[in-house]
Structure 1
Amino acid sequence: MRSTLTAIRNRMDRAGILLSGLCAVHCVLGIVLVGFLGLGGDIIGGQVLLSPEIHRVGLMLAVVVGVISLGFGVARHGRVAPLVIGGLGLTLMAAAILVGHGTAESVLTIIGVSLVAFAHIRNMRHTH
């Protein structure tokens, strides 16, 4: 039973790392398509890639995965640092939604997802 729970927690941490990476790629791709290629008004750039819904859904997924895996990690290994680091990252991601599209949003998001991924990595290391 214990090894099953550890495997589930590890999968959740890996999912958190994957989601963080996808979010960072999405952010950088948005900067390239809109900022450098000027494709902000087309369907891909304007209506899909920059849709606020994508950011909200991504943040909700990050919060759910983070709370489950990082929270259970604290219960398992007793170290609060991954939860605090992940919480800071999620806060920055939420702030990015509030500032609107632009450089500030991209910077906040990339720093936020980097912190969340780092927190998941630390959580996995403490669990083993």
Structure 2
Amino acid sequence: MDIGEVAKKAKVTTATLRFYEEKGLIKSIGRQGLRRQYGKQVIDQLALISLGRAAGFSLNEIAAMFRQDGKPELDRKKLKDKAEQLEQMAKRLHFISQGLEHAAVCPAENHMECPTFQKFLKAAIAGEYQPTKL
């Protein structure tokens, strides 16, 4: 597949493909004229890169997940650790969402006078981002 086909299938730009190639994340298999050519496995590699980025892995961390031949070699402990980090982040975001939702409908004239909002602020300053019934 040429670079344009790959970009279209993977929904990335050709500049992104060239950047990933410079970083060693993917490899072209040659050129046809001026256009880089890639093997079919590059789509799976790009899907893993996309998933890794969405999960918060750095490009260097993602690069370490591929062997020299481009096949993935996933470190299960790193995956588990990242899953736990994402779970904690999801809990914090849910807590913050609860507080914001309450503030949006709070009947108090001033949010700072609202006991529920005060409870939210105290929990936030203490770093206690656990979803609760506010």
TM-score (norm 2): 0.30
Pick the structure with greater CA Rg: 2
The structure whose RCO (Cα within 8 Å, separation 6+) is larger is: 1
By percentage of residues, which structure has more strand?
A: 2
TM-score (norm 1): 0.31
